[in-house]
Amino acid sequence: MKLAGFCFFAGSLLASSPTFNKDVAPIFHERCVQCHHPNDIAPMSLLDYKSARAWAKSIREAVLTRKMPPWFADPQFGHFANDARLKKDEIETIKAWVDGGAKEGDSGDLPKAPMFTEGWRLGTPDIVIDIGETFTLGAGNDAYEHFTVPTNFTEGKWIRAAELRPGNRRVVHHAHINMVSSSTEAGPTTIQAMKPLDEFLVHDGKLTRVSMDAPVLNDACAADAPDLPYIHGFQEGALASYLPGRSPDVFADGTAKWIPAGTKLEFVIHYAKTSAATQTDRTSVGLYLASGPPERPLRRMDLRNFFFLIPAGAPRHEVKRCYTFEKDKLLLSITPHMHYRARDVRYDLVRPDGRHEVLLSVPHYDFNWQLVYRLQDPMLVEKGSLLTVTTHYDNPNATAIRWGDKSEEEMMTSWIEYVDPERHSALQR
């Protein structure tokens, strides 16, 4: 009896030692390989056993410390559809796999790996439009480039997703696409379009910044805040964006974006500093058509503060921006965008009846990971509600930092996707 019992125990221990093919690959397929496949943003592929095996120790470390998958929202606040955090049992499985010798297992256990079509994460697009030229980037500084290209659409189209795909991931740091009607028009999210700002701006080639002696407004929520450009209301957001770690723009079910006939696409691309070698790029966007008009057109409002000043040496310098809802809106997602010096950001909502909630808190903001936080369920926010965005910055430099395109300068931007709560039976665009 005793012996049989022992054998049974040893047998079950052996059977419970996880293998790559049976236990770990399904987790990697679901949680890791969208970045960890050949020629994407991550340094190694986790699709095949050999390449994953070589990284076993650092995989253990990265999942135990929750460095991977990247996710920065404080779990105390909000629920997010794209929450990337691994479940406890997934972490346990990966840990046990590594501790058990990172075994491959039975080849019959290996599930079918997700397919990656020529680098398009969303599969083959219906329409692909690129920047229209092969752009050559010299060594050295950051560059901000604009490319305006025709869609040649003779009729308008509803799109359900847009995947902005960098041509050269070594140099494309982030990119946006605006819809414009002529090649001389600057899209709504570009600084060139923000005419009332002109007197406060300094242009440095194609890079722009707010001048050091422009008015300073760190707390744009203060009752006595002067009426500076863009500190109230919002601006219409871009069609699509590419940011490190951000998943492609897939519009929520029942929504779509409208691209009118004759629209031109303005690509705004931030090329980050490159080393000695000259690099080329040909970035493109893949458009995915919706099957018909949506119940609700998707919109994005961008909230910014251009007038903060982060004093030299300041630790945890606070900057705020407020927005009062001018009508009811159904919120879908939030994307904070700052640069290297941002330390945290938080979104507080106070409804007309006084109820307060934190929509999103990112206690350790990281410029290298610019994630979109998609709300688990669309959130109805009533007219008159007040949204406060609070950011803190650390400035270890001997000079003050103001708003600017360069990564070493700062931004304070939030993109919020929303739809009208009313379903549109007869659509007004």
Is residue 93 near ligand HEC by the rule CB under 6 A?
A: no
Is residue 35 near ligand HEC by the rule CB under 6 A?
A: yes
Give the burial string for 381-409 (b: 16+ CB within 10 Å, else e): beeebbbbbbbbbbbeeeebbbbbbbbeb
Q: Which is nearer to ligand HEC, 10 or 41 (CB)?
A: 41
Instruction: Quote the DSSP letter at residue 319.
Output: E
Is residue 36 near ligand HEC by the rule CB under 6 A?
A: yes
**In this structure, what token pair is assigned to residue 424?**
């549109």
- Distance in Å, CB of 420 to ligand HEC, minimum: 31
Among 16, 51, 58, 117, interactor with ligand HEC by CB under 6 A: 58
- Distance in Å, CB of 349 to ligand HEC, minimum: 27
- Distance in Å, CB of 207 to ligand HEC, minimum: 26
CB distance 333 to 372 below 8 Å: yes
Q: Which amino acid is at 69?
A: P
**Number of residues this chain uses to bind ligand HEC (CB under 6 A):** 19
Is residue 54 near ligand HEC by the rule CB under 6 A?
A: no
CA pseudo-torsion sign 96, 100, 102, 104: negative
Of the listed pieces 31-39, 128-136, 171-179, 197-205, which binds ligand HEC according to CB under 6 A? 31-39
d(CA 397, CA 402): 12
CB distance 248 to 121 below 8 Å: yes
Partners of 242 in beta bridges: 175
- Distance in Å, CB of 248 to ligand HEC, minimum: 12
Rounded (10°) CA dihedral 366, 381, 349, 196: 70
Q: Which is nearer to ligand HEC, 166 or 187 (CB)?
A: 166
Among 25, 47, 59, 221, interactor with ligand HEC by CB under 6 A: 59
136 SS3 class: strand
254 SS3 class: coil
CB distance 299 to 419 below 8 Å: yes
* Phi, psi dihedral angles at 89 (to 5 degrees): -70, -25
Q: For residue 186, with 0-12 CB atoms within 10 Å meaning exposed, 13-18 middle and 19 or more buried, which class applies?
A: middle
Among 19, 21, 31, 374, interactor with ligand HEC by CB under 6 A: 31
- Distance in Å, CB of 21 to ligand HEC, minimum: 16
Partners of 285 in beta bridges: 129, 164
Is residue 47 near ligand HEC by the rule CB under 6 A?
A: no
Is residue 69 near ligand HEC by the rule CB under 6 A?
A: yes
* Phi, psi dihedral angles at 22 (to 5 degrees): -90, -45
Among 49, 55, 251, 393, interactor with ligand HEC by CB under 6 A: 55
- Distance in Å, CB of 97 to ligand HEC, minimum: 11
Of the listed pieces 41-49, 126-134, 183-191, 295-303, which binds ligand HEC according to CB under 6 A? 41-49
Of the listed pieces 29-37, 295-303, 351-359, 373-381, which binds ligand HEC according to CB under 6 A? 29-37
Is residue 41 near ligand HEC by the rule CB under 6 A?
A: yes
Is residue 243 near ligand HEC by the rule CB under 6 A?
A: no
Is residue 370 near ligand HEC by the rule CB under 6 A?
A: no
Q: DSSP states of 44-84 as a string?
A: S--SSHHHHHHTHHHHHHHHHTT-SS---S-TTS--BTT--
Q: Which is nearer to ligand HEC, 36 or 264 (CB)?
A: 36
Is residue 271 near ligand HEC by the rule CB under 6 A?
A: no
d(CA 29, CA 32): 6
- Distance in Å, CB of 84 to ligand HEC, minimum: 6
Site residues (vs ligand HEC, CB under 6 A): 31-32, 34-36, 41-43, 55, 58-59, 62-63, 68-70, 84, 86, 245
